[in-house]
Amino acid sequence: MATGEKPLAGQVAVVTGAGRGIGAAIAQTLAGLGAVTVLCGRSPARLIETARAIENPKNRVETAECDVTALASVEAVAKRIESQHKRVDILVNNAGIGGFGKPLHELAPADWDRVLDTNLRGVFYTIRAFAPMMIRARSGHIINISSLAGKNALPNGAAYAASKWGLNGLSYSVAEELRAHNIRVAVVCPGSTHTDLTPHEGKDASRMLQPADVAHAVAMLVTQSPQSFASEILLRPTMKP
C-alpha cells in the first residue's frame, strides 16, 4: 500500500440495511477507509439521503435497492456489482428488524416469518449470491451483525433472539466452510445500541452503544493483518444503560 493510501483503497464493500442507524455508520466508515461502498436497502429515498451525507471527493458510494428477503432482488444486486466492479471484498450483513413486546405464544406466525426472513434467511441469500465472487478471488470478509440477544435470553423477544442465535450458528459454520478460500467470516454482537430498532424505555441513551461503535468494530475486522482471523466480537456499553 502506497504511503498515504487508505487501507481499503481499491476494494468494494456491500452493506445491507445501510439507509440508517448501524448500517449507515458502517457504510460511512468503510467509505472513509477507501472502499467503494454500496449501500443496500429497501428504501431508495433513504439510501440516497444517506449516500449524500457520506459522499465527498474522497469517498465513493453507490446505492442499490435491495430486499434481502427476496432472492431475486439479492441476486440482481450481486450481478450488477460483478458486472460493474468485477469483485466484492467486504459483505456486511446488517439488515435486520426487531420483534419485541409479546411472549412467543401470542406472536402471530406472520410476525415470526417477517423477523426470521429478514434477520436469518436474508443472510443466507446474500452469502449465496456474493460468496462465489470471493471464492474466485480467494479473498474476502463477510461480517454478520448479530446481537447479544443471540447469546442471552430475551423474554418477549423470542423470535428476534432465535434469529440471532441462528445467525451466530450460521456464521461459525460458514467461517469454517470458507477459511480454505482465504475468506474470513466474523460475527459482531452488540448490546444495547441507540437506534430506532432497540427499545429505549427505561434506558439512558447516553450510556448505550452508538452506531459508530459498531462501525469501529467492523473497521477493526476488515483492517486486521492477513494472518489474523478475529471471528467474533461481543460489544457492550461500558456502563449499563
Q: Residue 159: name the closest of 93, 106, 198, 216 by CA.
A: 106
DSSP letter at 193 equals: B
Among residues 125, 130, 160, 165, the one annotated as catalytic is: 160
- 172 is annotated as an active-site residue: no
Residue 88 DSSP class: -
Measured CA to CA, the distance from residue 229 to residue 73 in angstroms comes to: 31
Task: Give the separation between CA 168 and CA 170, rounded to whole angstroms.
Answer: 5
What is d(CA 222, CA 22) in angstroms, rounded to the nearest whole number?
16
* Helix, strand or coil, per DSSP, at residue 185: strand
Partners of residue 14 on adjacent β-strands: 38, 91
Which are the catalytic amino acids? Answer: 160
